[in-house]
Amino acid sequence: MHLQPRVLVTGGSGFLGSHLCERLLEQGANVLCLDNFFTGTRQNVEHLLDHKHFELVRHDVTFPYYVEVDEIYNLACPASPIHYQHDPVQTTKTSVHGAINMLGLAKRVKAKILQASTSEVYGDPNVHPQTEDYWGHVNPIGPRSCYDEGKRCAETLFFDYHRQHKLRIKVARIFNTYGPRMHPNDGRVVSNFIVQSLLNRDITVYGEGSQTRSFCYVDDLVDGLMRLMGTGDAVTGPINIGNPTEFTILELATMVIEMTGSRSKIVRRPLPENDPRQRRPDISKAQEHLGWQPKTQLQEGLARTIAYFEQLLTQEGIKASL
């Protein structure tokens, strides 16, 4: 007999996963966190280990996994270019075999299942802002393809299991998200700029810095995912979850320098291959189906993230590894 929902979170000890586990526990769920610790750490969920409704299991989702659960959040997959390009074959396997295994599990136990998809399914978009009905502009054979195409294939699998096996699915297309527990050296723009500023190192702007992104604070994102999971069966997505306020990378650099009172100088570096020029979600669907929109302003979210990194940088030996 179990009164609380049993929730499986794959990739649960990563950046987004650890915040999600925390919030699910707060809402009274039994949380099973599955992770192979490729980019996630035990440290991210250390504060949850004593919670009687939390369990942490080391497992790679490319292998089958048998358990009885009511809901599955499938987040397992390295998310930053440095990490997902480290072993691109494993990245595709994680998205594709991981999705098959988790869908097979959901099918067997009749669980509801949510996929953490990504704005990268739109590639370098020709439509701006991106709506869910846009099919994307993705290079199938480039250095980012293992991630982009792996996630696209996972979406295909989700919709085929839905059509073929009547699975209850939810697909969230997540846009750039930031906050505490981001990896300090994953090469993402927010973590890079904050760490560089705090250490008074050069701020590396790639290209002219005129490319845009819209940054969503992690708490807002987790709220969106949980609302999506809570919707009726008719809502499958895909639904964009992200912040529609767009900034250029140069604006972000200036803001971080100001907020940290840093002595850092901005320097230019080459723009990476296939780097999207602009990105901003159209969140009308999220507003309509989830009653959701982000609440946290960039300044406020950055302040909390800067505070996290300040604390992190006081740890012994960390600076040398950055």
Q: Active-site residues: which are they?
A: 147
Phi/psi of residue 267, nearest 5 degrees:
-125, 155
Footprint on residues 31-50 left by ligand UDP (CB under 6 A) = none
Select the span of 71-79, 132-140, 231-239, 274-282 touching ligand NAD (CB under 6 A). 71-79
Among 30, 31, 33, 35, binds ligand NAD (CB under 6 A): 35
CB-based burial label for 143 (10 Å; 0-12, 13-18, 19+): middle
Among 21, 29, 71, 78, binds ligand NAD (CB under 6 A): 78
What, of ligand UDP, ligand NAD, none, does residue 204 touch, CB below 5 to 8 Å by kind? ligand UDP
Would you tell me how many other CB atoms lie within 10 Å of the CB of residue 90? Answer: 17
Cβ neighbours for 101, distance < 8 A, ≥ 6 positions apart: 61, 62, 63, 64, 65
Question: SS3 of 86, please?
Answer: coil
Q: Which is nearer to ligand NAD, 57 or 267 (CB)?
A: 57
Among 72, 157, 189, 195, binds ligand UDP (CB under 6 A): 189
Among 139, 204, 274, 293, binds ligand UDP (CB under 6 A): 204
Among 267, 272, 307, 311, binds ligand UDP (CB under 6 A): 272
The CA distance from 104 to 311, in Å, is 41
What, of ligand UDP, ligand NAD, none, does residue 28 touch, CB below 5 to 8 Å by kind? none
x-marked contacts with ligand UDP along 164-183 as a string, rule CB under 6 A: ------------x-------
- Rounded (to 5) percent helix, strand, coil in the chain: 40, 20, 40
Among 25, 76, 103, 239, binds ligand NAD (CB under 6 A): 76
Phi/psi of residue 31, nearest 5 degrees:
-115, 125
The CA distance from 8 to 98, in Å, is 13
Q: Which is nearer to ligand NAD, 6 or 188 (CB)?
A: 188
Would you tell me how many other CB atoms lie within 10 Å of the CB of residue 89? Answer: 8
**End-to-end CA separation in angstroms for the chain:** 48
Q: Least CB distance from residue 65 to ligand UDP, whole Å?
A: 5
Q: Which is nearer to ligand NAD, 99 or 235 (CB)?
A: 99
The CA distance from 42 to 233, in Å, is 34
Q: Least CB distance from residue 238 to ligand NAD, whole Å?
A: 12
Footprint on residues 108-127 left by ligand NAD (CB under 6 A) = 116, 118
Question: SS3 of 113, please?
Answer: strand
Query: What distances in angstroms separate CA 222 from CA 119, 225, 234, 241, one per listed residue?
Result: 16, 5, 21, 9
The yes or no reply on residue 174 touching ligand NAD (CB under 6 A) is: yes
Residues within the interface to ligand UDP (CB under 6 A): 64-66, 81, 100-101, 104-105, 107-108, 176, 187-189, 192, 204-206, 211, 213, 249, 271-272, 275
